[in-house]
Amino acid sequence: MKIKINGLTINLETHGKGKIVIFLHGWGGNLHSLFPVARQLNYKTVLIDLPGFGQSDLPNSPISSFEYASIIQKLIESRGINKAVLIGHSFGGKIAAIIASKNPEWLKGLVLISSPGVKLKKSLFVQLKKYTYKALKKIISIFPNNEKILEKLRNLFGSEDFKNSKGIMRETLKIVVNEDISNILREIESKTLLIWGKKDRDVPLKVGIKFNELIKNSKLIVYENAAHFPYLENFDTFLNDLNNFLSEVFKHE
């Protein structure tokens, strides 16, 4: 199904019946990223391709996480959805947290999996890498016809997400990775489940601990042997934890 929101075509799929669970995938993924979980639930599940991913349109210009959240919020409202739980992995979790901070009436609960959004002090290695990149970029920029060399430099020092992004999406990535939503997290009132992998290098457990401190009605579960995709790496355990949470937040509905 495709729906127009803010002039963009957004792709989504709906499966099952009953109470509603909405899924938002991470950067570089699509609605199929979380389908292995959705298909196991006895609920009505809504999976969305975020703008710029899957079969949804590219944004017309680089946008922030807050603009992503506004688009998804409008999509949810356009479908007349109420009494739903919102689940987000990684970047999708950051968007979900921003939506939840507005405390919409339809939101019954929030599940954030390995989600970024809190700035931590960078390690010495990361700081040295950053300064080395800036120094080399400054030197290379002096010379004419340097774009190919600069692109190789960006690919050498950039993250995998950066390397795999181009044009508007690369510029969007530059915006979203530099946002800090600490103050936003304090505004969330919904019951929140946080799932993190202890071995996550993309969004370290320290971020999950900070989320747990800032979101007043939250519970953090850590999977010892998981990294950035704990819902796949500990699939059965995750399904059990998720179903327990869903049963709890929906029990009075």
**In this predicted structure, what is the pLDDT of residue 78?**
94
Closest CA to 181 of 229, 114, 113, 115: 115
pLDDT in tens, the chain (253 residues): 999 999 999 999 999 999 999 999 999 999 999 999 999 999 999 999 999 999 999 999 999 999 999 999 999 999 999 899 999 999 999 999 999 999 999 999 999 999 999 987 665 444 554 655 466 566 667 767 777 765 664 566 556 766 667 899 999 999 999 999 999 999 999 999 999 999 999 999 999 999 999 999 999 999 999 999 999 999 999 999 999 999 999 987 6
Closest CA to 2 of 48, 66, 65: 48
pLDDT confidence of residue 131: 56
- 2-119+180-250 in CATH: which number? 3.40.50.1820
Q: What is the pLDDT of residue 82?
A: 86
| Domain spans in the chain, listed from the N-terminal domain onward | 2-119+180-250, 124-173
| C-alpha closest to that of 122 among 133, 113, 136 | 133
What is the Cα–Cα distance from 16 to 126, expressed in whole angstroms? 45
| Nearest residue to 172 (alpha-carbon basis) of 27, 57, 6 | 27
Residue with tokens 């999509």: 75
